[in-house]
Amino acid sequence: QVQLVESGGGLVQAGGSLRLSCVASGRTFSSYTMGWFRQAPGKEREFVAAISWSGGYTYYADSAKGRFTISRDNPKNTVYLQMNSLKPEDTAVYYCARNGQEHSNYAYGLEKRYDTWGQGTQVTVSS
């Protein structure tokens, strides 16, 4: 059973930066696209960014483009989300997730394509 554990969340002022990390257990991390999603209070969970299994392709929601960078270190079984120029509207619980199919980027922005989720890490951006 693969487990995902996020860390790096916290309280930051608007304009600041945070780097989220997600460590995966198991030996097949490098075969899967990984994604970051977020859920703000009273809102549905939404896609933020995804990265292909090799790291060769990255995808971003419009809200993240130019400010967030997703990356991965396969030998460390870790995916990162570097968040810069944070805004109060970025306040949410951030989740990492593993795509349900090996070597697939198909529909990377859809929650239902991901079958394993972390517990989430809170990011709060003050104005």
What is the full per-residue pLDDT of the chain (127 aa) written as tens digits? 899 999 999 999 999 999 999 999 988 999 999 999 999 999 999 999 999 999 999 999 999 999 999 999 999 999 999 999 999 999 999 999 999 999 998 889 999 999 999 999 999 999 9
Q: Output the pLDDT for position 63.
A: 97
E strands present in 1-127: 4-7, 10-13, 18-24, 34-39, 46-51, 58-60, 68-73, 78-83, 92-99, 114-117, 121-126
Structure tokens at 8: 């790096």
Longest Cα–Cα distance of the chain, Å, equals 41
- Give the Cα separation of 126 and 119 in Å (integer): 23
- Give the Cα separation of 25 and 6 in Å (integer): 12
- Give the Cα separation of 3 and 52 in Å (integer): 19
Q: Output the pLDDT for position 105.
A: 87
> Which three-class secondary structure state does DSSP give residue 90?
helix
Q: Output the pLDDT for position 92.
A: 98
The type of residue at 46 is: E
